[in-house]
Amino acid sequence: MENKASLYNGKLKYGEMKKRDIKEKIYRMLVFVGMMGLWHYLSIKLASPLLLPTPKDTITALIKSATDVDILVNLFITMKRVMKGFLVSLCVGIPLGYIMGLSELIEKMLSGIIDSVRQVPIMAWVPLTIIWLGIGDGPTIFMIAFSAIFPVILNTIQGVRSISKDYYNAARSMGAGPFSIFVHIIIPGSLPDVLTGARIAVGTGWMSVI
């Protein structure tokens, strides 16, 4: 009887979840249709393709751009720069975040510098990066990595600090050393926050492309 009841409850919950998903899809579709309709109405009202082209003209231009060889080549170059800057931010930000998360002394020493530097607008670094790295991919990759590294560092620190002390105590009681604790507790426990920082870093890297 208990198995049948649990099976019935499971089917009921699944049905409710499915209905909720269908409702969410319908709502999203309605919002999309409403936005497209408003866009079309405003574009006709303004009658200025330069200020607000119609959705049809925009989609046509998008398809034309997506099939243009020169645009695709430039898009590939931009993606390559973003990936290089993103990888640099991961290679520097993750180890630094772990060090700062594990050591309060180092965190106190570096947090002031990091908090101060990350407040500087990204465009303020453009003249300096051109002087330091010259004209080419160097300044662009530097600014992508610079803007992407802070979410990686901060989320890595948060991931390390959010691990419960009970895990450390349990591991030490079973004879685990620092390296074993780092590999089997700290890395898996902080991984969700690290991935969140990486996801944010990709977005900030794209926004800093110039």
pLDDT digits (tens, 9 = 90+) for 101-144: 998 899 889 888 888 888 888 888 888 888 888 888 888 899 99
CA dist 122 and 143 (Å) reads 7
Q: Are 208 and 149 in contact (CB under 8 A)?
A: no
pLDDT band at 190 (very low <50, low <70, confident <90, very high): very high
Round to whole Å and give the CA distance between 199 and 184. 23
Distance CA 76, CA 178 (A): 43
Mean pLDDT along residues 40-66: 87
192 vs 137, residue with greater confidence: 192
Please count the other Cβ atoms lying within 10 Å of the Cβ belonging to residue 9. 10
* Average pLDDT along the chain: 86
User: Which domain-ending residue is among 17, 37, 67?
Assistant: 67
Judge contact between 152 and 90, C-beta under 8 A: yes
Residue 93 confidence (pLDDT): 93
Please identify, among 22, 48, 67, the residue that sits at the C-terminal boundary of a domain.
67
Task: At 189, list the tokens.
Answer: 């426990």
Query: Token digits for 202?
Result: 């990709």
Q: Are residues 127 and 171 in the same domain?
A: yes
With 70 as the cut, is the pLDDT of residue 78 above it? yes
Same domain, 15 and 58: yes
Considering the domain architecture, whether residues 31 and 52 belong to the same structural domain is answered as: yes
Residues 128 and 34 in one domain: no
Cβ neighbors of 195 (< 8 A, separation 6 or more) are: none
- Please tell me whether residues 204 and 131 are part of one structural domain: yes
Alpha helix ranges (H) inside 123-186? 126-133, 137-161, 165-173, 178-181
Give the pLDDT band of residue 17 (cuts 50, 70, 90): confident
Least confident of 4-13, 62-71, 125-134, 186-195: 4-13
Is 60 exceeded by the pLDDT of residue 53?
A: yes
CA atoms within 13 A on the CB side of 75: 8
Per-residue model confidence (pLDDT) at position 3: 53
Number of folded domains that form the chain: 2
41 and 58 fall within a common domain: yes
Domain containing 8 equals: 1-67
Predicted local confidence at residue 13, as pLDDT: 65
Q: Kindly state whether residues 132 and 29 are assigned to the same domain.
A: no
Question: Is pLDDT of 10 > 80?
Answer: no
* Nearest-angstrom CA–CA distance, 108 and 157: 12
Q: Are residues 24 and 80 in the same domain?
A: no
Q: What is the mean pLDDT of residues 4-12?
A: 54
Q: What percent of the chain has pLDDT over 70?
A: 92
